[in-house]
Each structure stands twice: as C-alpha cells, then as structure tokens.
Amino acid sequence: MKNFNLSVAMLLFIGLSSLQAQERIPQVEALLEKMTLEEKIGQLNLLTPGGGVATGSVVSEDVEAKIKAGDVGGIFGVSSPDRVRQAQELAVKNSRLGIPLLIGSDVIHGYKSTVPIPLGLSSSWDMELIKETAKVAAKEATADGINWNFSPMVDISRDPRWGRVAEGAGEDAYLGSQVAIAMVEGYQQDDLRAPNTMMATVKHFALYGAAEGGRDYNRVDMSRNMMFNEYFPPYKAAVDAGVGSVMTSFNDVDGIPATGNKWLLTDILRERWGFDGFVVSDYTSVNEMVDHGMGDLQAVSAMALKAGLDMDMVGEGFLTTLKKSVEEGKVTEEEITTAARRILEAKHKLGLLDDPYRYSDASRPEKDILTKENRQLARHAATQSFVLLKRNDNNLPVSKTAKIALIGPLANDKFNMLGTWAPTGDRNLSIPVLEGFRNVAPNAQITYAKGANISNDTAFAKKVNVFGPRIEISDESPDQLLEEALKVAQASDVVVAVVGEASEMSGESANRTSIQIPESQKRLIRELVATKKPVVLVLMSGRPLDISEEMDMPVSILQAWHPGIEAGNAVADVVFGDVNPSGKLTMSWPRNVGQIPVYYGERTTGRPQATEEFQKFKSNYLDVQNSPLLPFGHGLSYTLFEYSKIKATSETLRPGSTVNISVTVTNVGDRAGKEVVQLYIHDKVRSITPPKKQLIAFEKIDLKPGESKTIEFPVTVEDLKFYNTDLEYVAEPGEFEFFVGGTSDCEMQGTFNLVE
C-alpha cells in the first residue's frame, strides 16, 4: 500500500535539527559558566512551602534556607505580590548568583474568577471562549505573582470512574487537541514576557487518563497504536502550540514510569516532536519510582535525569543524590547542565532574568482580579458549558413568575460550586443556585428545601471532606428532610431539584466504582416525581454519571457540572431561558459501569453488532445494549435544528486538493440557539483497524428562529492521516465514509475516495 507520509527517519531529522537550530541564549550561557555543580542542581529543585491548599501528601521543609543557599529553582503554592516579592528577594538578594524563582500554581479552571471544571468547559465546544477563560486566568494569576501554571491537563479519559476526568476535555483526540491549543494560547498568548501571561504546562505526560480500573495512580498498559492515534495527539498539539513545559505522569508507560521513561521524554517528546522547553515531574513522582520497583532514590533520580526530566517536584531526589551520582560516574555534569539550561531558558523567556519582580506589582490584584468583567465571563462560560440531556414536556425553560420548589442538597450550597481543583478560588464568593434564582427571577415565588443529604454515609463523607465541608449531613433525619421537600413540592407549579456529586467526589484521588447519583438523592428524586409535578433536574457532577433510572423518568435533565463562582446566576440564566443551552457532551455517558470503557471512537471488531437487538455470536452483552446511554456530542436545545443538503463537492480527493463537505442547518424552532455541527469520517480499508467514527471537524453556529446557515468543511489529506504500525503518519488511499450531525450518533451521508 502506498503512503503519503514522512518517514520516521525524516521526522527524527526534523526534530533533531530543530533542537540544534535552537539558539543558545548568551545571558543563560553566561550564568551557566559561573555556576557550580551544586547551583545547577539547585535549579532543578521545585518546592512547595505550604501555607496554601496542599496539593499533595507532603510539604517541603526549610524552604527559606534552601532558597538562600541556591538550592531551589522554583516554588509553588505561594501567591500575592508581596509574598512573591519576598520569595524572589530571598533568591535574588541572598543566593550567590541571585537567580530568580519560577512561581508555579495549579490554575486549572480560572484563578479567582473560577470558571466551570474543564470537562464542563470543553462541553461548550467553543475554542474562542476557552482561550478567553485561559487569558483571564493568566491575567488574574500573574496579578497575584504567579508566572508558571500547571495546566492544561489534556489526558484523554474514557473511564468515568476516574475522578480526574473532571480536569480534562474528555474522550476524543481531535477535540482534546483543539482545547489544548486554545488553553496554551490563552495562558501564554504570543508573548511570555508580558506581565499578564504565564507559562503553561501540558500534563500529565503521558496516558494518565488510562489508569486501569479508573483507579488514580494505577498502572497503564497500552499499544503504541492507541498511544499515537488516540492518546498522544493533545500533548503533541500543546507542544506544537509552543507550551513552555511538560509535566510527567504518575503511571508507567510500557512498564517504565513516565518520570523515568527515556523513550517518552527524549525519543518522542524532544526528538520526534521537537519540544524545546523543560520537563517537570509530578508531585514526588521521582521518589515514587522507588515504589514502582526501579531502585533506590539515588538510582531513580539518575534514571529520571537521564531519561530527560529537568525538574523534580517536591521530592528532592535530585537535590540530595545527583552530586553523588556525578562523583560515582552515574550521571554526567553535562546532563545536569542541560537540565539547568532549560530551567534558566524558561526564566529568560518569562523575562525574570531581566526583572525578577515583573510579577510583583502590588497595584494589580485590585485592578485585575475578580473584576466585574471577569465574573461576567465566568457566568457566560458556565452557561455555555451546560448540556441539556433531556427535555420533558417542554417544562424547561421555567417561567419567571412560576411558583417554584427549589429542592436538593446542591440548591443552596456554596461549598461545591467551584468544583474540584480550584485551590486558588474562594468558595465563599460563589453564588448558590437559590441566590441566582432570586437575582434572575425576582418575581417568581421560590421556596427552598434541602430534601436530602448529598450522601447519608458518614464514612464516605469523611473521605470527601478532606479539604473542608463538602458533604454536610444534616441534623434532621433523612425522612424529615424528605417530608419538608415534598410539602414544598406539593405547593408548587414546578420542581427544580439540584442534585448530584459534591465537588470532591471527583478530582485527584476521588474515584468511584458506582457512578450513580447517591442513593439518598435518588430516593428524593423518585418521591418528587411521584408528586406528578413537572420536575427539572439540574445535575452537578465532575464526571459522566449512570443516570439510566432518571432518564426513564418524566423529568428534564440539565447537566451543569460544577459551574464555578457564578454558578447560581448561570444556572438561573439557563433554567429561566435567558440563555438557550448549547453544550454537547465530550465523554459518552454509560448505561452502567459494566459498559466502561464506552466511547464513540472504538475500533471496529470482526463481529460488529449492526443493530441494538441482541444477536448471538456478535460483539455485545446479554444484559445491556452496546450504545452508551448518552453519546459523545449529544446535547439538546430549547429550539430544534434541521440538517439538510449534506454533500461532498467531489467523489475523489487527491493529495494537494480539497473535498468540501457542506451542510445546511436550519433553526426550525421559535428561539435563537447555538448548534455544534460535527463532521466524522470512517476509513473503510486501512492497514490497521480503523475507528468506527472519527471526529475531524466541527463548528459552533448561532441561528435565529427560522434562520439557515450553510457550513463547509474543507477536507484534505492531512485530516485523514493516522499512525500506521511502523508509527509513520500516513493517509492511505481508498474509500472514506462521512457523517454529519449534532451528535456522534449521526448517520452516514456519503463517501469519497482518496486517490494517489
């Protein structure tokens, strides 16, 4: 079979020559000349003094003394212009060479003006919006002294048991890559020296989202085919977009921990992809290689450095062992110099070597943080992230003059609105749904009742509440709570129940083997439905849930994730119809946990199941269909869209030419609305098994009632490429089917042929 490809050798050559072409920076080289071995090793050390929210299980000690001694290259978990200035002064005025520090932070979904969790934000499918939220996050964070961000997290995730699905953009390589680019561009813009931009870190390299069983930190085993075609693209997209640093993952990749994996960090990342920034470990992931069975601390530190790791987060394996390893000939001083050079180059890119106090302007927080505009953007972003999963009897939107029973443990809650991984946000500033309802519908009669605890299980609540109260178990008994809620419901025109997960039921080290709404709330929902009042469920969660039971009930369901600081206002905007929901799922929602992993892009089998009916000796289950409960790309609107005139301009595609696939979308309802138009392909014959469908383009459009728009998707050979069994990036001639629609569950519309 003939390929349109660049050979591996060619790619390696391009990668290597781009490395060589990278110019040495005189300011950095001059510093390196002066540095002792110890000072170089000091640059590779990243510490966290604590004091803020802990993001790992240990906190560094004697940080001040170590900074003065030149033993620290960067710190994280410290903010405010004053504290950052003090930290920089320790380095600049006290260490021998006065090299300033990198000041890191986990700014995952907004700094103080918290936007929805990333999985929610990705559901907007609005790349300009995502970029804008990253820009604002950078503006706020840099105003508070931060210059280096541990985001974006781009791990493809197809297992909703894993708590960290909340932090990424879901299951798809193409969409994930677009989100990765938008975030890197938003954080860094085109000038890292500007005082309102910060260096981004793409993480967790690599494959962290594929932890076995959805259990955080667990092992990963994956074919190279799957890595290259389905899991690597978002990391590579971030590298191509110029991301400044890469963070390794906790898991192993092909039996070798990512943090010490030379194939991953050098052969792929640097040589094949041409990455020229620096690589940082995850929290103590160098030390954890001891538990992975790779040897003692000295051995694993040497292994990590030699593999291509430049900076060691918190564990101090580099600081305490590398000198000895040089003396014993286990690593070379040159290897340490190379890593130190990369850290210094990052400081140079940020402008820190010219002005260490660039991010310590005490006048900025007031001007730049939590401004009206920033909160407005957070509110808008939240409305765009919501996904209307089901609409029953048109009971959404709710009238602004209705008698509303606002029920549920998340209906008047401040502590769960920001979502997981919001260590820089202030939960007390978030708007509960009850407050938002009163703001947006002052003429409605709103009565609130809690109705149920998020969970009645005290042992479970204790594990969720490690960062503070998230699940508060009421003094009233579950029966009393329910009784009050039913009374309120009986007296209402419509029930809005805000239910789901507490924020820390997802996120790091927050995995679940049951992904249903907790039983305490399921009981409440059943009883509310039994009142026969119209019921709207506003569902909050950090992951896809198994809502098979609720989908069968006569209810509308609006998925609101954890919406961020403006939660209540945003939920009200959508529930009362000021904003028409337009989000689309970026992860498939399973019918039950036994179906996991379930994702739209699975590869073909030799015994495909063509219909939902059970067929003996086909790839299926006895007890449940193959399709997910809710597919990737699904999301309804208060209006209806009709797709017509779907066609390709040509039946053949030649290298260098384009086939345009066009579609007309009409808003046939009576409200303005937005639709995400999606284009999928299926490669009918190729040298490795193809995915059943593959997203290659999408566009989000805005349509007034009655309005039509025609969209053209230009398809070129580039869009048809994949990594073959020799890991060459190729497109193979033959027939391609294409599918167009407002969900991944859309019909085949035609074919075209790729010819040589």
Residues at the interface with ligand NOJ (CB under 6 A) = 55-56, 106, 150, 203, 282-283, 508
Q: Look up residue 86 and give its two tokens.
A: 């003090």
Q: Would you say 282 or 316 has its CB closer to ligand NOJ?
A: 282
Minimum Å gap between C-beta 468 and ligand NOJ is 17
Cα 519 to Cα 403, 469, 561, 737, distances in angstroms: 28, 20, 19, 44
Give catalytic residue positions. 282
How are strands ordered across the β-sheet holding 673-683?
Answer: 652-653, 748-754, 734-741, 673-683, 694-703
- Calculate the CA dihedral of residues 47, 51, 55, 59 and round it to 10 degrees: 50
CA torsion sign, 254 to 181 to 244 to 143?
A: negative
Q: How far is CA 630 from CA 70, 89, 331, 352, 741, in A?
A: 54, 54, 52, 48, 15
Chain-centroid distance, C-alpha 155: 7
Using CB positions, name the residue nearest to ligand NOJ: 55
Minimum CB distance to ligand NOJ smaller for 419 or for 741: 419
In the complex, the smallest distance separating the C-beta of residue 611 from ligand NOJ, rounded to whole angstroms, is 42
Look up residue 18 and give its two tokens: 């781009």
Smallest distance from the beta carbon of 201 to ligand NOJ, in angstroms?
8
**Beta carbon of residue 148, minimum distance to ligand NOJ (angstroms, whole number):** 11
At a CB cut-off of 8 Å and minimum separation 6, what does 13 contact?
none
Our CB check for ligand NOJ shows the closer of 55 and 744 to be 55
- Among 398, 397, 379, 491, smallest CA distance to 444 is for 398
Q: How far is the CB of 106 from ligand NOJ (least distance, A)?
A: 5
Q: Which residues contact 687 (CB under 8 A, 6 or more apart)?
A: 1, 724, 725, 732
The span from the CA of 368 to the CA of 378, in Å, is 14
Closer residue to ligand NOJ in complex, CB, 56/295: 56
Residue (50 or 98) nearer to ligand NOJ, CB: 50
Please, which residue, 284 or 586, has the CB nearer to ligand NOJ?
284
CB of 418 to ligand NOJ, least distance (A): 16
Q: Which is nearer to ligand NOJ, 314 or 681 (CB)?
A: 314
Least Å distance, CB 59 to ligand NOJ, is 11
Q: Is 612 exposed, middle or buried (0-12, 13-18, 19+ CB in 10 A)?
A: exposed
Element spanning 385, H or E? helix 372-385
Q: List, in sequence order, the alpha helices (H) in 386-499.
A: 433-440, 458-464, 478-490
CA distances from 432 to 112, 245, 562, 584, 752 (A): 16, 36, 11, 24, 51
How many CB atoms neighbour CB 654 within 10 A? 15
CA distance 52 to 359: 19
> In angstroms, what is the minimal distance from the CB of 508 to ligand NOJ?
6
Q: Smallest distance, Å, CB 410 to ligand NOJ?
A: 25
Q: In whole angstroms, give the CA distance from residue 477 to residue 691.
A: 51
Q: How far apart are CA 194 and CA 358, in angstroms?
A: 9
Secondary structure class of 577 (helix, strand, coil) = coil
Q: Which is nearer to ligand NOJ, 150 or 448 (CB)?
A: 150
Cβ-based nearer residue to ligand NOJ, 325 or 420: 420
